[in-house]
Amino acid sequence: MQTTPEIVPVGTARIAAEWAGDGQPIVFLHANVADRRMWRHQFDALAASYQVIAFDRRGFGETAMVDETYSQTDDLFAVLDRLAGRDKPAILVGCSRGGGIAIDAALAAPDRVAALVLVAPGVSGAPAATPIAAVQRLLDATELARKSGDLDEVNRLQAALWLDGPLADEGRVSGSPRALFLAMNAIALAAPSLGRVVEPKPAWGRLDQIAVPVRILCGDLDIPHLQTRCEQLAAGLPNGRLEMLSAAAHLPSLEQPERVTQRLLVLLDDCRRG
């Protein structure tokens, strides 16, 4: 797949992005333990029918963190303006924190967003949850490793939590998907703590304002309270639907790329029908 790399200046940051194809824009938004490479299979496949865009947020992949105040949604729209213009509303495809940014963008500029496809999204203002014991053990171990400065151990533990799933055997997902996770997350873990992000008004109490189609995917091996939140999210949206993915955790585009691409094609067609 022939892609076009781009550097999009936003403030003093230089956002690393790429695009391919033609048609309605689709923007891929990555999780906080990854970068734009988590969407490689989907990006390449959908370029035959859409203009696909992916970028690394500040502190991830090829985009360095800089010491300034910034907005995640402003960065998103700056990339979209530069690579696709403002003429066509975009479909936003986001996982985890990337899904939360997609929700915030739909609330901030509803005329710019045609639909959302969200994979286990974060939602600002969502009710607090008590993690089950298996999740809490991994979180506690991760915090201890972080305090000791052992980023390799943090990376290993986060792979167990997010890639394998907290109730699955560690190493359930192996080979190139695991290697890519560890490489992407190592960059994020090593990024300096610079910049001050401007957080938008919490989204949870405003879900009824999102009128566009929203399709949600969630793996049945994901953290249990995130599965519950996805159910609540779908119920709170005027045009929201949830689909569970069997034998998948928090990052199904990595562990089951072909399956997620096929589901994404179906969901995009569903979004077009409303």
CATH code (residue 238): 3.40.50.1820
pLDDT of residue 26: 98
pLDDT of residue 31: 98
Shared-domain flag, residues 147 and 59:
no
Q: What angle do CA 270, 211, 252 make, to 5 degrees?
A: 50
- Indicate the pTM of the whole model: 0.97
Question: 56 near 35, Cβ under 8 Å?
Answer: yes
pLDDT tens digits along 220-250: 999 999 999 999 999 999 999 999 999 999 9
| % of residues, the chain, pLDDT over 90 | 96
Shared-domain flag, residues 200 and 238:
yes
Shared-domain flag, residues 221 and 116:
yes
Shared-domain flag, residues 54 and 152:
no
Domain-terminating residue out of 190, 207, 233: 190
Which structural domain, as residue segments, surrounds residue 12? 4-128+194-273
Shared-domain flag, residues 66 and 202:
yes
Domain-terminating residue out of 171, 190, 209: 190
pLDDT tens digits along 178-226: 999 999 999 999 999 999 999 999 999 999 999 999 999 999 999 999 9
Phi, psi angles (nearest 5°) of residue 78: -65, -40
pLDDT tens digits along 12-24: 999 999 999 999 9
Within-domain flag for 261 = yes
Within-domain flag for 224 = yes
Question: Number of folded domains in the chain?
Answer: 2
pLDDT tens digits along 53-78: 999 999 999 999 999 999 999 999 99
Question: 42 near 257, Cβ under 8 Å?
Answer: yes
Encoded tokens for 234? 């779908």
Q: Which residues pair with 113 in a beta bridge?
A: 90
Within-domain flag for 23 = yes
Domain-terminating residue out of 163, 190, 217: 190
Residue 173 binned pLDDT confidence (cut-offs 50, 70, 90): very high
Within-domain flag for 244 = yes
Residue 1 binned pLDDT confidence (cut-offs 50, 70, 90): low
Shared-domain flag, residues 99 and 203:
yes
pLDDT of residue 273: 82
Question: 247 near 220, Cβ under 8 Å?
Answer: yes
Shared-domain flag, residues 228 and 105:
yes
Shared-domain flag, residues 101 and 66:
yes
Gap between the Cα atoms of 252 and 261, Å rounded: 10
Shared-domain flag, residues 165 and 143:
yes
Within-domain flag for 133 = no
